[in-house]
Amino acid sequence: MQTSRAMDRILGIADNYEIDTRLYCRYLRETDQEVGAESLKAWAGFLVGEGYAAATVNRRISAIRSRIRTLFEESGDEAFDVLALYSLERDLKRVHGMKINSKAVDPSKVLTADEVRAVIAKCSLRIGLIVEFLYTTGCRISEALGVRRKDVRRHRENVVIRIVGKGSKERVVRITVGLFSRITQTHHGKEFLFVNLSGEPYTRQYIERVVHEAGEAALGRRVTPHCLRHSFATETIERTGKIKGVSKYLGHSSTTTTMDMYNQEQLDFVEVPEL
């Protein structure tokens, strides 16, 4: 079958893969290849090289597999008999996708500094300070709301805060003197660092709700307090490259946990080996 004719036919198949098919056909024209398993394998490698996410590469491979199958099933060309179809199916199954790290944090849950500022702008002063604290320290919301005044002390140019995390494990985080001053000028709790207008500690559910509402208003998407922890970790690893240090600062049980969550590099394209 002539390449141009095959491309015209897969472009004309009615399904939801039009964009993927046009990209594949453009690649065929640019590289002078024919529709088939070999060019699909080459195209998949090209997509990986271009930096597409694993989910995108896998979806596009699946889309073109489907169109190639439909093309040959609907073909009236006698050359494509049962044996040819069997051979085609075998070759298509050898074009494998990319492995996806299921533990990795979804990039949509990571906010930039500008996005955090936009969320803070939609919050009240009291809640905005909590958001800033979460982004600055990488604390879990329960850890932040559990900070007591007696856990805070001045250390040189920073304020050091004792955090009690999961499993009652203790660690230390730091904030600037300026942020601490703004917090204490706004939150006047006698025991807890963050308190509501009645002087009582906030509930986790309340903070989650108002942060969600602020995220929708500022960014048009769901934002949770834990997104701020993800954002702190991602930005700090990118800036310092110190994964072990960030892991300890976050209170993770091991560096492996941090690597699994915040290593956004995709694994190389994987092909099923031929027997």
The 10s digit of each residue's pLDDT in 62-120 is 888 877 777 666 665 544 455 555 566 666 666 766 665 556 667 778 899 999 999 99
Report the DSSP beta bridge partners of residue 162: 172
CB 6 within 8 A of CB 34: yes
Say if CB 131 and CB 119 are below 8 A apart: yes
CA distance 250 to 95: 40
Query: Residue 219 CB: number of other CB atoms within 10 A?
Result: 15
Answer for the pair 174, 160: CB distance below 8 angstroms, yes or no.
yes
Instruction: Check residue 27 and give its pLDDT.
Output: 87
CA dist., res. 155 & res. 206, Å (int): 32
Q: What is the pTM of this model?
A: 0.59
Residue 253 confidence class, pLDDT cut points 50, 70, 90: confident
